[in-house]
Amino acid sequence: MALPNLSDADRKAALKKAAEARARRAALRVEIKAGKLSFADVMGKADDPIVARMKVATLLESLPGFGKAKAARVMDELGISDSRRVQGLGARQLEMLMERLGR
């Protein structure tokens, strides 16, 4: 699939939109890390495009008490791919994550 030819204005708008999305995801991670939002709170917003496009590994690493190793271990134990995004979680995977982390 070929990339679309964008005008300079369209390219700038797309870059601005992408930067805003990254900033919103970063702010969400800060709120999670600070304990303002629980895993269940975040999963309740799974239909929000910012949450939906976040990688599950990144979400887990943002939880208080979790780092790369613990997040990777949980994902491995539950059979979730490292590249899986929240919107791509299956019903069973989501159920297992909620049982384990839905505090």
The answer to whether residue 93 sits within a structural domain is yes
The answer to whether residue 4 sits within a structural domain is no
Specify the number of domains making up the chain. Answer: 1
Residues 6+ apart with CB under 8 A from 49: 21
CB 61, CB 71: distance < 8 Å = yes
The answer to whether residue 76 sits within a structural domain is yes
Tens digits of per-residue pLDDT, 58-88? Answer: 999 999 999 999 999 999 999 999 999 999 9
**The domain spanning residue 56 has which CATH number?**
1.10.8.50
Task: Tell me which residue range forms the domain holding 83.
Answer: 15-101
The answer to whether residue 80 sits within a structural domain is yes
**What phi, psi does 85 have (nearest 5°)?**
-100, 160
The answer to whether residue 6 sits within a structural domain is no
Q: What is the pLDDT of residue 28?
A: 95
Tens digits of per-residue pLDDT, 7-56? Answer: 889 999 999 999 999 999 999 999 999 999 999 999 999 899 999 999 99
The answer to whether residue 68 sits within a structural domain is yes
User: Residue 85 forms beta bridges with which residues?
Assistant: 55
The answer to whether residue 10 sits within a structural domain is no
pTM given for the model: 0.84
The answer to whether residue 3 sits within a structural domain is no
